[in-house]
A and B are shown apart, each in its own frame.
Chain A
Amino acid sequence: MIIQSNLVPTRGARQAVAAYLVVFGAVLLLMMVLGLLMRLNQGGLVTLPAEFFYQSMTVHGTGMVGVAGVGGAAVLWYFLGRHVRLTTWVFVLNLLTFVVGAGMIMAADFIGGFAAAWTFLFPLPAKAGGQWEPWAAAVHLGGLLLIGTGFLLFHLDTVRAILGRYGSLTRALGWPSLFGSDPEPPPPTVVASTMVAIANTLGLVFGASVLVISLVNLMVPQFAIDAMVAKNMIYFFGHVFINATIYMAVIAVYELLPEYTGRPWKPNRPFLAAWTMSTILVLAAYPHHLLMDFGMPRWLLILGQILSYVSGLPILVVTAFGALMIVYRSGLRWDLPAGLLFIGVFGWAAGVIPAIIDATIIVNSVMHNTLWVPGHFHSYLLLGQVGMLLGFASWLGRAAGARMPSRFGIAAFWIFVAGGIGLTQSFLYSGHASVPRRFAEYLPEWIGQARIGALSAALVILGTTMLMARLVAGSGPAGGAR
């Protein structure tokens, strides 16, 4: 039997979390501005050179994925630190590698002109067509590799700490309770952190491998990899990493909604089964990104559709339903953090729906690489993951003494939500109307939709800025909550 106890983070650890949130906020806003610029350009309201558009697109995609990881890591580390002894310097090192790596990527893209999207599909980095120099590609890929290495160390440290307390990863996933009769399963945070560590370690290893191959290919063009193999590795890494950012952020929901409602989030058998299922499914469902690669084995693509359907069940049936259950008639007094956490779960659950529909092969035939795709991932990342992270940051800020007029917070919340819904729905509408994604210039019939998207993006930025201003106005030690 494992005795639960709450460890108290040191001052340094609390400051490290605060540093993560500062970087998260700054980079998030910068990436949002780039996103707005792209929608304005597509709507014909500003004119960007195509080179700058695609550089911005590359930075936006890469930066958003990275900063979602940074925010998620802050949540995971903060709450996992209540249960196991983590290493602060490893946590700080991850942030440093992110900052340096992000600087390298921005320099490579905006100065060196590199613009191969976050996907850096082989052999595009080495075939610039005069758009960028090899050094820019090398610096961009090197920056990504550095960021990935930092995250790998971060997860290895969580694995070390979890093993130190629970003895094995299966025990930390709650298998003795799931398959046996152990009455004391690990807390939800430990289960989720273990799942993320397993999945992301594998994802990062594949990502780092294809990055190294691409880097060597830049220097020795004869050293090539099959384009399909590279694409599988890239999408395995990307799929696992971005999903892991949500699984890290949802820890804040598991920890804080019980605090708000006075109702425990019990790691019962359905919960443990869902997380074990998710551990497998997040690794196995990635072929749904390659449904239009007809050279892939057909059985793998069919499996991609089926597993994508199944992977939505744990989210909808366990986490979303659990959040509704715990809040319903709980006597909860809504405040900003609670509202943001709740909207985060909504964004995740709602975004899963168009994602699953897109994973249907016959739908993917006419939706793949249209704006339907950013439609669903902005739903579970912007409204979902970022909602949860802003909720977590607001909760920390509130505990540290941040106070602003309630009307300001309410206005910020609804502006963020309205903008988020407008942005995702405009993407989805455009996707259903066959508008391609990643186009710098639009046909006249697509411009109106882009303008609605731009207006929504502006609202998102306004709401996010107001939420952050609220936090900065009352900034204090991050761990004041303890």
Chain B
Amino acid sequence: MVQHVAWVITLIAMGAVALSFLWVAARAGEFAEYPGIVERAYRLRKVLFVVLLVVSGGVSVLTLGELPYATASYGTPHEGTFRPAQVVEAVGSRWQWELSPGQIVAGRPVQFRVTSTDVTHGFGIYDDAMHLLAQTQAMPGYTNVLTYTFQRPGTYHLLCLEYCGVAHHGMMGEFTVTSH
């Protein structure tokens, strides 16, 4: 969903930039006195500046409220009750992932405690359709806590999202999320 929104916004905005450039390029051969153009353009620039500032400020306010960084809490409110998170130790080492415990239940937040024993890896969780759901870095000497709630039972995949050596692309794992 997030990817789709990002893609659509990008296409629209890049398209708007492209049309602006094409429009100006098409009229470059005409001639008009520059002072008049500058006067109008500076007014437009002020508007553009304010619009971009408001949009970026608004997006920041909207998006910075839901950060993926875990809190110290081991549970999250869920349907009116406080449901404890499942804690899963996730360790990356060339070229495999180890999850402990391996049983994960849907509908309850999972707190992945992610680290690495050798070099930096990227802990990327994919669904069965190979859509990226969440990620964090797996770095030696650090334990990054990633909290995610699986809505549906099924098979999920782990891909390494930080280049780690010759078999980086093969550093994949799999786990099952059950309904109970």
Contacts and interface: CB of A to CB of B under 8 A. Distances in A.
B45 interface: yes
Contact of A226 (B70, B141, B146): B141
Interface string B154-180: 000001011111111110000000000
B60 A366 contact: no
Q: How large is the interface on B (under 10, 10 to 19, 20 to 34, 35 or more residues)?
A: 35 or more
B99 to A, nearest CB: 18
Contact of A438 (B34, B144, B163): B163
Contacts of A295: 139, 142-144
A231 interface: yes
A434 B67 contact: no
Contacts of B69: 294, 298, 301
A11 interface: no
Nearest to A338: B28
B30 interface: yes
Interface string B1-43: 0111011011001100110110011011111101001100100
Nearest to B146: A294
Interface in B111-168: 118-120, 122, 124, 126, 130-137, 139-146, 159, 161-168
Nearest to A375: B10
Interface stretch (B51-59, B74-82, B83-91): B51-59
A163 interface: no
Given A432-B6, A436-B124, A369 B162 contact: yes
A353 interface: yes
A293 to B, nearest CB: 5
A107 interface: no
Contacts of A292: 122, 135-137
Nearest to A51: B166
Nearest to A376: B10
A22 interface: no
A420 to B, nearest CB: 12
Contacts of B162: 121, 369
19 contacts: A116-B163, A127-B118, A226-B141, A227-B120, A263-B34, A294-B70, A298-B69, A313-B53, A317-B49, A321-B45, A342-B25, A346-B21, A363-B63, A367-B6, A370-B132, A432-B7, A434-B3, A434-B130, A434-B131
Interface of A: 50-51, 54, 57, 115-117, 119, 121, 123-124, 127-129, 131, 226-228, 231, 263, 270, 292-295, 298, 301-302, 305-306, 309-310, 312-313, 316-317, 320-321, 324-325, 327-334, 342, 345-346, 349-350, 353-354, 356-358, 360-363, 365-370, 372, 428-429, 431-434, 436, 438-441, 443, 445
Interface of B: 2-4, 6-7, 9-10, 13-14, 17-18, 20-21, 24-25, 27-32, 34, 37-38, 41, 45, 48-49, 52-53, 56, 59-60, 63-64, 66-70, 94, 118-120, 122, 124, 126, 130-137, 139-146, 159, 161-170
